[in-house]
Amino acid sequence: MNIIVCMKVVPDTESKIYVKDGVVVEEGLKFLINPFDEWGIEEALRIKEKLGGKITLLTVGTEKDVEVVKNGLAYGVDDAILLSDPAFKGSDTLGTARILASACKRIEYDLIICGREGADYDTGHTGIALAYVLGIPYVSSCVKVETDGEMLRATRQIDGGHEVHEVALPALFTTSVGLNEPRYPSVKGIMLAKKRSVPVWGKDIVEGAVGHEAAKYEYVEFTQPEEKKKSCKYISGTPEEEIVQLMLLLEQEAKVI
Amino acid sequence: MILVVSEFGDKLKKITLEAIGLARSLGQDVCVLAIGNGLSPLAEELSSYAKVFVTDGVSHCSNELISAHICEVARKTDARLIFLGDTFFGKDIAPLIATQLDWAFMADCTAIEEKDGLLVTRPIYAGKVITKARVKGNAVCTLRAKVFPEAKKSSSFGKETLGLPQITPKIKVLETKKEEQKRPDLTEADIVVSGGRGFKSRENFQICYELADLLGAAVGSSRAASDSGFIDAEYEVGQTGKIIAPKLYFAIGISGAIQHQVGMKSSGTIVSINKDPDAPIFAISDYGIVDDLFKVVPVLIEELKKRK
């Protein structure tokens, strides 16, 4: 059972992110594995523990992402490949999917795992576009998956419930919140990963149009949202007094009840 | 032409009316597609907002088939924009439609303007940055809920019946489980009661449901609460969960991590109950009670019961 996990390197969205002169300031930002992809790595490890095989990480990025890619290797993943080339710059989500697809075609796989979305741009296009470009089916926003190496049975989130899908491999699924609780990498894993080199594949492997020219959209403006200044009205007293006051405020001031 | 793909549970979702409203505000012709089962009443209702294409008798349908169908309708109607909600349905299907049609895909849009082409506004980096994208050509967009004004009813626009395309799906939908909808949908509700780690256990979390039912509210949670198993993950409000904007939001026992704030800070009125006076949630709240939730919430429940 060979698995490809696509992993994006994203800034820690818990950290301070701000815009200066119309661009997002990257300096000082901490970069990490996209949380949705961390669930992907964990699920791949669990499947491998059961069925054996090989796990390959694919990251579209730049040389500066190598350190974070090695954090991915530290979990006990077999291989990682960085897909990087100046020609990839300005690729949109479909372009990124084409780059990933070109790499996937050079690797043996039964299953591809992607995060539902990147925690940076939250688009949620690349994984699904990758499945389409490769001509394989996908199940999105999965919270539970089972596979015997032939079939994939996946429980996915739908609005107001769940749906169970079954599909023959090769297939792709995207992860969602609740899929698993990722382990911590072992000290040994971290040490080993540090020594690994991450091969870089560039534009010569890529089929289809990628990069800025091929992009169907371009981000042209970045601003910081105006923070709605709220001053919290604190209510104090005994619980009974607090509730009387709260109800009064909700009814007469906020007029929401 | 703008094609809106409608969404409904037991009844039509507001996001569909918001999508039609946005499409109309762009001064374009609008048509709506309804795919599902037992659609007669829904199609009738929709036809007073826009021309409706009805694909009835469809259940347990895989994304490949639905997407192929929507692409056909887009070609037939000569649409250049397709709108869906930024719901699980939209997240699943919209990226595939865009890829199949070779159009741009724009997720979670909060504004769409026609200004020398299409200009789309969307929040990124957990809402810390707002960006505008210039789209070359046609696009499939998912829309954030409660941002766009709902369309108003007018005359009847008529209906047309369609059938699904003949393709053999690779995916088998074995089972669809909808939780019993006794509470309103989280993204559509006017009032939401959310609980956090402060509840300490799944049993204690029942207080949230009791309060929600007295208010006719939906129940939500922080990531900490769902990670701790107090409630299932699909009720999570936040960056990895749902982004909502009800008129009234109760944050109970929730400290208010950035990832939670992203999901609820656009709510109208925010009430927080937390015994930690330094909890960040208070900074974005309208009303704050610094007290033990297990003392305060039961009193609120009693007060609401008295009023019934």
pLDDT of residue A230: 81
Give chain A's length.
257
Q: In chain A, what residues touch B147 (CB-CB under 8 Å)?
A: none
Q: Are strands B2-5 and B30-35 parallel, antiparallel or unpaired?
A: parallel
Q: With an 8 Å Cβ cutoff, is B59 touching chain A?
A: no
Which chain A residue shows the shortest CA-CA distance from B218?
A160
Q: With an 8 Å Cβ cutoff, is A223 touching chain B?
A: yes
- Residue ranges, comma separated, of all CATH 3.40.50.620 domains in chain A are 3-205
Buried b (16+ CB within 10 A) or exposed e, B81-115: bbbbbbbbbbbbbbbbbbbbbebbbbbbbbebeee
DSSP, collapsed to helix, strand or coil, labels residue A28 as coil
pLDDT > 80? residue A112? yes
pLDDT > 80? residue B87? yes
pLDDT of residue B115: 86
pLDDT category of residue B171 using cuts at 50, 70 and 90:
very high
- Using CB atoms, which residue from A132, A160, A217 is nearest to B178? A160
B117-155 confidence digits (pLDDT tens)? 999 999 999 999 999 999 999 999 999 999 999 999 988
How far apart (Å, rounded) are the C-alpha atoms in residues A207 and A187?
39
**How many beta-carbon pairs below 8 A join chains A and B?**
254
DSSP, collapsed to helix, strand or coil, labels residue B120 as strand
Which chain A residue shows the shortest CA-CA distance from B247?
A256
Residues facing residue B134 across a β-bridge: A218, B119
Q: What would the mean pLDDT of B222-233 be, rounded to a whole number?
A: 94
Report the candidate in A205, A5, A198, A197 with the shortest Cα–Cα distance to residue A85.
Answer: A205
Q: With an 8 Å Cβ cutoff, is B110 touching chain A?
A: no
The 8-class DSSP code of residue B259 comes to H
pLDDT of residue B59: 87
pTM, rounded to two decimals: 0.94
pLDDT category of residue B182 using cuts at 50, 70 and 90:
confident
pLDDT > 80? residue A227? no
Q: With an 8 Å Cβ cutoff, is B83 touching chain A?
A: no
In B146-257, alpha helices (H): 206-215, 223-227
Q: To which H or E segment does residue A77 belong? A: none
pLDDT > 90? residue B245? yes
Q: What would the mean pLDDT of A209-214 be, rounded to a whole number?
A: 96
Q: With an 8 Å Cβ cutoff, is A120 touching chain B?
A: yes
The radius of gyration computed from the CA coordinates of chain B, to the nearest angstrom, equals 21
Q: Tell me the Ramachandran region of residue B38: left when phi exceeds 0, alpha when psi lies from -120 to 50, beta otherwise.
A: left
pLDDT category of residue A61 using cuts at 50, 70 and 90:
very high
**Is ipTM strictly over 0.90?**
yes
Does B289 contact A242 at a Cβ distance shorter than 8 Å?
yes
Domains of chain B as residue ranges with CATH: 2-161 (3.40.50.620), 191-307 (3.40.50.1220)
pLDDT of residue B308: 84
Interface of A with B in 29-48 (CB under 8 A): 35-36
| Residue in A25, A128, A174, A231 to test binding to B, most B beta-carbons within 10 Å | A128
Query: Mean pLDDT, chain A, as a whole number?
Result: 96
Q: What would the mean pLDDT of B47-62 be, rounded to a whole number?
A: 94
Q: With an 8 Å Cβ cutoff, is B296 touching chain A?
A: yes
pLDDT of residue B32: 98
Q: In chain B, what residues touch A121 (CB-CB under 8 Å)?
A: 124-125
Task: Starting at the earlier edge strand, list the strands of the sheet with A151-158.
Answer: A200-201, A79-83, A55-60, A3-6, A111-115, A171-175, A138-147, A151-158, A161-168, B171-178
A191: distance to nearest CA of chain B, Å? 29
pLDDT of residue B6: 98
In this structure, what are the phi and psi dihedrals at residue B263, rounded to the nearest 5 degrees? -85, -15
How far apart (Å, rounded) are the C-alpha atoms in residues A100 and A95?
9
pLDDT of residue A30: 95
Please, how many CA atoms are within 13 Å of residue B32, restricted to the half-sphere of its CB? 33
State percent of chain A over pLDDT 70. Answer: 100
DSSP, collapsed to helix, strand or coil, labels residue A179 as coil
In angstroms, the Cα distances linking B132 to A65, A219, B119, B135, B266 are: 26, 6, 6, 10, 19
pLDDT of residue B46: 97
pLDDT > 90? residue B234? no
B267-295 confidence digits (pLDDT tens)? 999 999 999 999 999 999 999 999 999 99
pLDDT > 80? residue B180? no
Report the candidate in B69, B68, B133, B76 with the shortest Cα–Cα distance to residue B105.
Answer: B133
| A3-205 CATH fold | Rossmann fold (3.40.50)
pLDDT of residue A14: 84
Query: Mean pLDDT, chain B, as a whole number?
Result: 95
Are the C-beta atoms of residues A112 and A4 closer than 8 Å to each other? Answer: yes
Q: With an 8 Å Cβ cutoff, is A254 touching chain B?
A: yes
State percent of chain B over pLDDT 90. Answer: 88
